[in-house]
Amino acid sequence: MLRTKTLLHFDSHGHEHAHEHACHHEHVHGGAPELSPEQTVALMSYMLEHNRSHAEELHNIAHALDAQGRHEAANLVGDAVHYFGHCNDKLEEALRLVKDKEE
């Protein structure tokens, strides 16, 4: 089944653009155990901290590339860190909403 999803992208100048993307596969998790609310919060919290750690590592890589004179690569990694930050912000907001619902 073909599904479409609107995704927000940023161009090289930081401008937002929405695009429709077709997804040719369905995400079915048959057989996967359902998470309890506590497990969901724990996993989301772990993933957020894990992602933040990776963002910090990528930030350091961008600086190393810049110091090596690989400015274009450094800029691309810097952009990735920027977008990673936006993703982490979304995860953090989702986690906040989940935690608020539990209380």
Q: How far apart are CA 75 and CA 52, in angstroms?
A: 19
On the question of pLDDT at 76 being above 60, the answer is: yes
Q: pLDDT, tens digit, for every residue of 30-68?
A: 666 788 999 999 999 999 999 999 999 999 999 999 999
Residue 70 lies in a domain: yes
- Please indicate, yes or no, whether the overall pTM of this predicted structure exceeds 0.95: no
Q: How far apart are CA 78 and CA 91, in angstroms?
A: 20
User: Per the structure block, which two tokens stand in for 12?
Assistant: 């090289």
Domains identified in the chain, total number: 1
The predicted structure's pLDDT at residue 101: 80
The predicted structure's pLDDT at residue 64: 97
Residue 9 lies in a domain: no
**Would you say how long the chain is, in residues?**
103
Terminal Cα distance for the chain, rounded: 38
Residue 15 lies in a domain: no
Residue 3 lies in a domain: no
Residue 67 lies in a domain: yes
- What is the domain range of residue 42? 35-102
Q: 7-45 in b/e burial notation, b at 16+ Cβ within 10 A? A: eeeeeeeeeeeeeeeeeeeeeeeeeeeeeeeeeebeebe
* Inter-residue contact 82 to 35 (CB < 8 Å): no
Residue 40 lies in a domain: yes
Residue 96 lies in a domain: yes
